[in-house]
Amino acid sequence: MSVTIKDVARAAGVSVASVSRALNGHDNVTGETRKRIQDAADRLRYMPNGAARSLITQRTQTIGAVLPDLHGEFFSELIRGMDAAARTRGLHLLVSSSHGSASEVGDVLRTLRGRVDGVLIMSPHADADMLAANLPAALPTVLMNTRVPGGKYVSLSIDNYGGAYMMTQHLVHHGYRRIAFIGGPANNFDADERLRGYRDALAKLLPKHDASVLPGDFSEESGYRAGLALRDLAQRPEAIFAANDMMAIGCLFALSELGLRVPDDIALAGFDDIPIARFVSPPLTTMRVRIADMGSQALQRLAEAIDGQPQPQLAHEIGCSLVIRHSCGAAAQPHTDTS
């Protein structure tokens, strides 16, 4: 059916071994035979069969990416980063997204055996047992924004803590003292870290001021509710730092309903730098998370592990950039990065 290495060998009047050597650029082939083989291959439009090659070399030149059901910018940025890094290394990317449970992740992992040289996993459902049970033995693995205790896997995460610390610091430096925080959902690692960053920064920089945390769950609506709740507070905060942009935007709507001007009456900041952040009015000051970086660095680490390089450091953090727009009252200025 398809043209194989044998056809090329016959056409060039040599053995398959020579074809293989010539086409893979080994040096033990005469210039003249090499040319004859190359010509024959071109003429027949020969393309090597990946499966056969993988079988014998034990390399697939493919990385598996196991991702949750992601939406929008986050997803596309992540893939963009992974793809860019993969491309420079001549690797392919096998993506599998939108799986709900741990067992589904397990199923995916099993079907990957023999198809990939390593896997990149991002999954809220991942746990050490599931991974141990379903990861083919010794398959190089790198985790992204996924926490699995046990210290067995290389993992990359957004520097949520540092970003939140930096944002709080920015607000403090700008003169705000009463800074409230709208938190994220319970048991969410990102949310916890951002809260911790806020608390630590406040404790360090304004030891006399208490932290003030309003409940939220990352949804626009919870931000809106948090905004309305300000009405009932004894003393209104001077600035609000929402744990993500969607809540900041919901809060912004609530503030405008309450007749409060941003940033004149109250400052506002978010986290994530979603595309919409730039378009609300006033444009939202926020922390940009470098998602593409996380993808490409994760892939790079994985490629190193596949090549047998030891990975001395297991946990890595991806820095964030402070994006100052108008909602915090500061003049817009170039980004500042954590880490």
Partner DNA sequence: CAGCATGATGTAAACGTTTACATGCGGGTA
Partner DNA sequence: TACCCGCATGTAAACGTTTACATCATGCTG
Site for a copy of itself contains 332 (CB under 8 A): no
Q: Which listed option, DNA, a copy of itself, none, makes contact with residue 4 (CB within 5 to 8 Å by class)?
A: DNA
Which of 23, 94, 206, 228 binds a copy of itself (CB under 8 A)? It is 94
Whether residue 23 contacts residue 48, with contact meaning beta carbons closer than 8 Å, is answered with yes
Shortest distance (Å) from residue 299 CB to a copy of itself? 13
Shortest distance (Å) from residue 43 CB to DNA? 15
* Burial bucket for residue 229 (CB in 10 Å: 0-12, 13-18, 19+): middle
Strand arrangement, sheet containing 333-337:
286-289, 320-324, 333-337
Residues 6+ apart with CB under 8 A from 318: 156, 157, 158, 159, 289, 290, 293, 294, 297, 339
- Give whichever of 44 and 95 is closer to DNA, judged by the CB atom: 44
Please report, as residue ranges, which positions from 61 to 80 form the binding site for a copy of itself (by CB under 8 A). Answer: 62, 69-73, 75-76, 79-80
Beta strands in the chain (DSSP E): 62-66, 92-96, 118-121, 141-144, 154-158, 179-182, 212-214, 239-242, 267-269, 286-289, 315-318, 320-324, 333-337
Region near a copy of itself per CB under 8 A, out of 132-140, 200-208, 236-244, 296-304:
132-140
Q: Which listed option, DNA, a copy of itself, none, makes contact with residue 92 (CB within 5 to 8 Å by class)?
A: a copy of itself
DSSP 18-75: HHHHHHTT-SSS-HHHHHHHHHHHHHHT----HHHHHHHHS---EEEEE--S--HHHH
- Give whichever of 9 and 322 is closer to DNA, judged by the CB atom: 9
- Give whichever of 9 and 130 is closer to DNA, judged by the CB atom: 9
Count Cβ atoms below 10 Å from residue 111 Cβ, excluding itself. Answer: 12
Cross-strand pairs, 312: none
Q: Which listed option, a copy of itself, DNA, none, makes contact with residue 17 (CB within 5 to 8 Å by class)?
A: DNA
Site for a copy of itself contains 50 (CB under 8 A): yes
Cα–Cα distance between 150 and 166 in angstroms, integer? 29
Site for a copy of itself contains 303 (CB under 8 A): no
Shortest distance (Å) from residue 337 CB to a copy of itself? 22
Using the structure block, give the residue that is written with the tokens 């709208």.
Answer: 182
Task: Using CB under 7 A, list all residues that contact DNA.
Answer: 1-2, 4-6, 13-18, 20-21, 23-24, 27-30, 32-33, 46-49, 52-53, 55-57, 114
Residues 6+ apart with CB under 8 A from 48: 5, 23
Single-letter residue type at 130: M
Q: Which listed option, DNA, a copy of itself, none, makes contact with residue 230 (CB within 5 to 8 Å by class)?
A: none
Whether residue 260 contacts residue 319, with contact meaning beta carbons closer than 8 Å, is answered with no
- Give whichever of 42 and 265 is closer to DNA, judged by the CB atom: 42
Please report, as residue ranges, which positions from 248 to 267 form the binding site for a copy of itself (by CB under 8 A). Answer: 249
Which of 6, 26, 43, 115 binds a copy of itself (CB under 8 A)? It is 115
Shortest distance (Å) from residue 209 CB to a copy of itself? 33
Cα–Cα distance between 317 and 165 in angstroms, integer? 14
Shortest distance (Å) from residue 48 CB to DNA? 4
Q: Which residues bind a copy of itself (CB under 8 A)?
A: 1-3, 45, 47-55, 58, 60, 62, 69-73, 75-76, 79-80, 83-84, 87, 92-98, 110-115, 133, 136-138, 249, 275-276, 279-281
